[in-house]
Amino acid sequence: MAVYVDAGTSVIVQGITGRQGSYHTKLMLEYGTRIVAGVTPGKGGMEVHGVPVYDCVEEALERHEANASIIFVPAAYAAQAALEAIDAGIKLVVIITEHIPVRDTMTIIAHAKRKGATIIGPNTPGVITPQECKLGIMPGRVFKRGVVGVISRSGTLTYEIASALTRAGLGQSTCIGIGGDPVVGLNFVEVLEEFLEDEETKAVALIGEIGGNLEEEAARYIASTGYPKPVVAFVAGRTAPPGRRMGHAGAIIMGRAGTAQSKIEAFREAGVAVAEKPSDVARILTERLKGSHESI
């Protein structure tokens, strides 16, 4: 088992003829992801790495079965692409694009909710269930199938922690980048709920950063539900000054809100172990998982 994506996921790539879309289509195909079609308005009839291209999602779905879409469309058009996928009945939409206006993202998410679709992103590296499906731009070889569910707001920091989990022999069940924007389709709590139901996931690594209050919300959820699987958190940005945007649109301390300290304290109060260093995540999880086996 896994969450969000698995060997049964079949994918449409929106923006497949662009530089990023084409490049990552190739890498996803090499990884083994089932990509059935691509969409770029006006480019219908082409092929990209052997994948047929259509003018619209509806047309692609007339010819192929697909249950997920990944979007590489430039920011000014990405919202339209997402709405098109949702309208066509796609239930999982991963938006890689960065710099989409927040107002557009809010509209996409509201529409997705109405249609029962899940949005991952925007500004996300995507989602990967190792050895089954990579729906994103992450380097595949960093990941190995295992027991830790990973949820993160960042890209490369996730690869850093995932590769440590791989080296420690723990591996990952599914690894989800929720995205670095202020408003994203999935929050930590929703992914924690998925991991709760997933038997393969024995523990969770939660990688947060400054800005917003999704981490605090996750801490409240973990404490109030007595979340049964061990969770280890890492929060980036302890040294970030207030009022400055640290790379990600969402990584900014506004007034008193969104500091690393507030998030770390919330996790500690909720009984969640907080890693001081990225490498501590794998170390603490190894101890926790050994501990839980012994107690069984």
Tell me the three state secondary structure of residue 175: strand
Q: Single out the residue of 150, 178, 204, 240 in contact with another protein (rule: CB under 8 A).
A: 240
Contact 33, 127 (CB under 8 A): no
Least distance (Å) between residue 212 CB and another protein = 4
Find the part of the chain contacting another protein (CB under 8 A) among 10-18, 37-45, 198-206, 270-278: 270-278
- Which member of 8, 247, 271, 291 binds another protein (CB under 8 A)? 247
Q: Which is nearer to another protein, 14 or 105 (CB)?
A: 105
Q: How far is CA 173 from CA 46, 139, 146, in A?
A: 35, 16, 5
Residue with Cβ nearer another protein (238 or 290): 238
What is the smallest separation between the CB atom of 81 and another protein, expressed in angstroms? 16
Among 129, 152, 174, 259, binds another protein (CB under 8 A): 152
Measured between alpha carbons, how far is 292 from 228 in angstroms, rounded to an integer?
11
Q: Within 13 Å, how many C-alpha atoms sit on residue 217's CB side?
A: 14
10 Å Cβ neighbour count for 249?
19
As a whole number of angstroms, the distance between CA 189 and CA 192 comes to 5
Whether 99 sits among the annotated catalytic residues: the reply is no
257 binds another protein (CB under 8 A): yes
Site residues (CB under 8 A) for another protein, limited to 187-216: 187, 207, 209-210, 212-214
Decide: is 237 part of the binding site for another protein (CB under 8 A): yes
* Contact string 15-44 vs another protein (x = CB under 8 A): ------------------------------
Judged by CB under 8 A, does residue 159 bind another protein?
A: yes
Among 49, 99, 248, 293, the one annotated catalytic: 248
Stretch that binds another protein, among 57-65, 192-200, 248-256, 263-271 (CB under 8 A): 248-256
Q: Are 16 and 40 in contact (CB under 8 A)?
A: yes
Does residue 83 belong to the site contacting another protein (CB under 8 A)?
no
Beta-strand relationship, 126-129 and 133-136: antiparallel
Residue 37 backbone dihedrals phi, psi, to 5 degrees = -160, 160
Distance (Å, rounded) from C-alpha 85 to C-alpha 294?
47
**279 near another protein (CB under 8 A):** yes
Structure tokens given for 240: 């970030």
Q: Can you name the residues that pair with 151 across neighbouring β-strands?
A: 176, 206
- Helix pair angle (188-197, 214-225), 10° resolution: 40
- Classified as helix, coil or strand, 177 is strand
80 binds another protein (CB under 8 A): no
Phi, psi dihedral angles at 32 (to 5 degrees): 110, 5
Compare residues 41 and 139 and give the one whose CB is closer to another protein: 139
- The catalytic site residues sit at 248
Binding site for another protein (CB under 8 A): 75-76, 99-103, 105-107, 109-111, 114, 125, 137-139, 142, 152-160, 163, 180, 182-185, 187, 207, 209-210, 212-214, 217, 234, 236-241, 244-251, 254-257, 260, 276-279
